[in-house]
Chain A
Amino acid sequence: MLTATRVRAPSSLQWISLFTAAFLVLPTAYIVYVAMTAAPAVWARLWSTRIPELLGNTLSLALGVALITLVLGVSLAWITVRYDFPGRRIWEWALALPLAMPTYVLAYVYAHLLGMGGPTEQWWQLLFGHEARLPSPQSFPGVTMIMALDTFPFVYLLVRSALQNLNVSFEEVARACGVSPWATLRRVTLPLIRPAIAAGLALVILYVISDFGAVSLLRYQTLTYAVYQQMTSRYDHTAASILSLLLVVMAIIFLVTERWFRQRSRFYQTSGRYRRSTRQHAGPLGTALITSYVVLVFGAAFGIPAAMLIQWSVEAISQGALDTRFLGFIWNSGFLAALAACGAVIIGLPLAYLASRRPSRLNIACLQAAYAGYALPGPVAALAVLVLFTHFAPALYGTVVVLIIAYILHFLPVGLQSMEPALQQVTPNVEEVARTLGCTTHQSLWRVTLPLVRNGFVAAWVLMFLQTMKELPATLLLRPVGFDTLAIRVWLEASEEYYQLAAPAALLIVILSLPALMLLVSKDWRGEAQKGVT
């Protein structure tokens, strides 16, 4: 703590960090400025025509998805923590897999599977008669279901971790005092895992309102989709800015909620007589029920879509889809994602370092500014960067630079979440020892701190690399000539219903996302769970 109290002149690092923070806030601030200074007539027109419908659609979708993910996530977490059944260890892991599937991939697979004249309809009509119609994937229930299948692992993982950390003595005390099992669940267990549920749901909602891929392919009008449509069909971006402002406000509300619950969910009294709950052995009937439930959810969310992608990919590849052009798309994706991830690590380093080593108000504010990108859905990040550059540096518009900046703005928060704790785990003492041995600040940073935080930073890099690789709306809007990525190809082919042609790129994205998912599951959630046990 000695270093924190010592008075220092602002170092070059401080200036860099200030400059970066300003740079990161500028685009968002500019959007807000454009929206706030828009003619009242534009606001009035949007309020009387589009906004009520868009708000209604967005909120009802978020609510619907939240409800379904609540049921799926909590029940699956409960089953995998409290019961023992054959294959439990595999299922535990497999149920996180849907996170590796971008929403636009799941959406397009289901658009085919459940669509008119699709394979499911034939079975449906065999069962319910020739005229029977499936619920359309493009309807509200369809979109809700698809988004829920993609996002329930957020709730599942957080609740599972909370259940594992939960001290079973509380429940036992309640039971010993004569409380019925149901009442114990309601009055003891649920309140204890409530913060985890809330944090999971807030993540789900944030994800849903900022999603572009699924809603655009399923033609469901949300605010995020409307921002994209406004940007691509109007000569001026005022209306898009106004819708963006609403969206950002909405995202901030859920973001703040999520942070609040997440902080609360960390404080568990697990010292003293902590005991893990014992697993109940599921009998034959229980095993059958549990297995069929888990198989059903996993199959719908990952198994069937993945099988479909593999089948389509094989067909497409046998027709020669893997040509040099396709290799070019892989190269583009890798190139852009690597550039963005490197850039974000380099930009994030001074921010995270200063905030953890010299937590002055200014330094913490700089770090918070970098988190602003969290509240920017892809099209809004693109709009912010685009509007800013067209006004102040039009020469850079249409170059890789603009796209990379949008990526960094959008994904830096993801990286900071791994970088910040990594830095916090290194005690300042180590650096001070280096200083007393004659190293300068820069030397100690370079030779002591950086090697120690390497793993956290590698994790941050990988996460940002993969997020960027999957990114769709900003890439669509800002890519330079000749920079089609895998994600772009999936979306372009799928939106014209060339499902086979979209499959190889989609499958590759899913496969490449798996390492990041493993990182996420083992670090963020499992890590915390294990900390709780020891």
Chain B
Amino acid sequence: MASFPRTVFALTLLISALILQEWPAKTADAADKLVVYSGRAERLIKPVLDEFQTKSGIQIELLSSGTTELVNRLQAEGDHTPADVFLTNDAGSLEHARELKLLRPMNMREVERAIPSQFRASDNSWIGLSGRFWVVVYNTTLVKPEQIKSLLDLAQPQWKDKIAIPNSGSEYLQAGVSVIKTTFGDERTKQFLQGLKTNAGSQVYQKSSQIVEAVAKGQVAAGIVNHYYIYRHLAAQPTAPIAAIMTDQQEGGMGAIMNVTGIGVTRASKHVDSAKLLIEFLVAQAGQKLFADLDKEYPLHPDVKADPALVDRHSFRAALVPLARLAELRESTLTLIEQVGLR
């Protein structure tokens, strides 16, 4: 019967042993390890990082989570953050992290050679890796492409209960609304959002992949997504009745809304050299090709071609709002989104 106190004692020992075993793993100053906080869908970035790990021998520890959540986390962890690198799919959030002094300015010749300056922070504390466009995906059996010329068309009453949209927490929706607001002003943007809200009803999704899926099944006629989800879906199911529309291309129109996947080294990182190796790998032609092939994004390196299935990058215009401005626009965009009561 006296075995219970002994059990308690053994348990306490066990716990301490477990903690001690995990602890050094976390704090060890292993030079060949990089901790990556990533706001991207894991399956879009893990293959690329795996490739780097095999090539360089540097071990990658990946934490996939929400972009804003990770910015909050980096800020809370401050100097103690285990993260060496922050990688995510919204320039506004990266710029915001820079303003919070969470990222480290970088001086890298390889970057300056490979990535045009409009896709980087002024001090290179974040560096764009690949481009994506916020486009309309439509079901080819339900919609004719000429029915949708502009994103704003989706707010018209004829699309009631026929469209799917991302939830208002997604950073790329916020970035998109910021661009629309800068182009058309608050009033028209508000009307647009109200229309979207009414037309989408309950078809508000957490993930772009789900929207593409819903459009492919004919559950809705059209949706707004990042372009590469369409092509990834088509690569897996070539017969799916879906296609993309690059919107707002008419004379004097806004242009397609662009955002980038970007990367920054944290200010607290103790593995800057390894982090530089990762960035070099990602901006080099081989790395850029991975983004093009695996993720169906537009490489930012001018010499690397996008997947031929994509709409030719030279055939359409991007909106003119600079990426770095997305950070300062965000707060007023959120207010607008909340006034409309978008989910």
Contacts and interface: CB of A to CB of B under 8 A. Distances in A.
B5 interface: yes
Contacts of B202: 138-139, 219
A399 interface: yes
B60 to A, nearest CB: 10
Nearest to A111: B210
B15 A229 contact: no
A481 B82 contact: yes
Contacts of B42: 492
Contacts of B171: 233
Interface stretch (A275-283, A389-397, A411-419): A389-397
A342 B15 contact: yes
A116 B206 contact: no
Interface stretch (B66-74, B117-125, B278-286, B313-321): B66-74
A480 B63 CA distance: 8
Contacts of A221: 343
Contacts of B168: 233
A397 B77 contact: yes
Contacts of A232: 66, 68-69, 169
B107 to A, nearest CB: 27
Given A229-B169, A482-B63, A451 B68 contact: no
A187 B169 CA distance: 53
Given A447-B5, A495-B207, A496-B209, A394 B82 contact: no
Contacts of B340: 49
A342 B69 contact: no
Interface stretch (B130-138, B212-220, B254-262): B212-220
B61 interface: yes
A481 B63 contact: yes
Classify chain A's interface size. Answer: 35 or more
A335 B18 contact: yes
Given A398-B77, A450-B4, A481-B61, A235 B72 contact: yes
A197 interface: no
A230 B61 CA distance: 27
Nearest to A454: B4
A219 B204 CA distance: 7
Contacts of A492: 42, 64
A400 B22 contact: yes
Contacts of A390: 76
B20 interface: no
Interface in A436-487: 446-447, 450-451, 454, 476-477, 479-482
B2 A116 contact: no
A513 B167 CA distance: 33
A447 B218 contact: no
A229 B68 contact: no
Interface string B289-320: 00000000000000000000000000000000
Nearest to A448: B1
A117 interface: yes
Nearest to B213: A497
B320 to A, nearest CB: 26
A481 B35 contact: yes
B68 A233 contact: yes
Contact of A116 (B12, B77, B219): B219
B185 interface: no
Chain B facing A: main interface SS: helix
Contacts of B71: 235
A441 to B, nearest CB: 15
Interface in A211-238: 216, 219, 221, 229-235
Contacts of A229: 167, 169
Contact of B206 (A216, A394, A477): A216
B108 interface: no
B157 interface: no
A497 B209 contact: yes
Nearest to B37: A481
B159 to A, nearest CB: 19
A235 B174 CA distance: 13
Nearest to A394: B76
A399 B76 CA distance: 12
Nearest to A48: B341
Contact of A451 (B5, B62, B82, B205): B5
A219 B210 CA distance: 11
B99 to A, nearest CB: 11
Given A116-B214, A335-B18, A480-B26, A394 B80 contact: yes
A342 B68 CA distance: 33
Interface string B1-23: 11111011001101100110010
Interface in B214-230: 214, 217-219
B277 interface: no
B2 A451 contact: yes
Contacts of B83: 481
A234 B333 CA distance: 12
Nearest to B331: A235
Contacts of A231: 69
A447 B2 CA distance: 6
Contacts of A398: 73, 76-77, 80-82
Contacts of A372: none
Interface in B19-73: 19, 22, 26, 35, 37, 41-43, 61-66, 68-69, 71-73
A447 B338 CA distance: 61
A103 B89 CA distance: 31
A175 interface: no
B26 to A, nearest CB: 7
B78 interface: yes
A343 B338 CA distance: 41
Interface in A53-109: 53
A186 interface: no
Contacts of A495: 206-207, 210
A50 interface: yes
27 contacts: A50-B338, A116-B214, A138-B202, A216-B206, A219-B204, A219-B205, A219-B206, A232-B69, A233-B68, A233-B168, A233-B170, A234-B334, A235-B71, A342-B14, A342-B15, A343-B15, A346-B8, A346-B12, A390-B76, A447-B5, A450-B5, A451-B1, A476-B65, A480-B82, A481-B62, A492-B64, A495-B210
Given A397-B77, A451-B1, 7 more contacts: A45-B339, A231-B69, A232-B68, A232-B69, A454-B7, A481-B82, A497-B209
Closest 3 CB pairs of A and B: A233-B169, A49-B341, A390-B76
Interface of B: 1-5, 7-8, 11-12, 14-15, 18-19, 22, 26, 35, 37, 41-43, 61-66, 68-69, 71-73, 76-78, 80-83, 96, 167-171, 202, 204-207, 209-210, 213-214, 217-219, 334, 338-341, 343
Interface of A: 45, 49-50, 53, 116-117, 138-139, 216, 219, 221, 229-235, 335, 338-339, 342-343, 346, 386, 389-390, 394-395, 397-400, 446-447, 450-451, 454, 476-477, 479-482, 492, 495-497
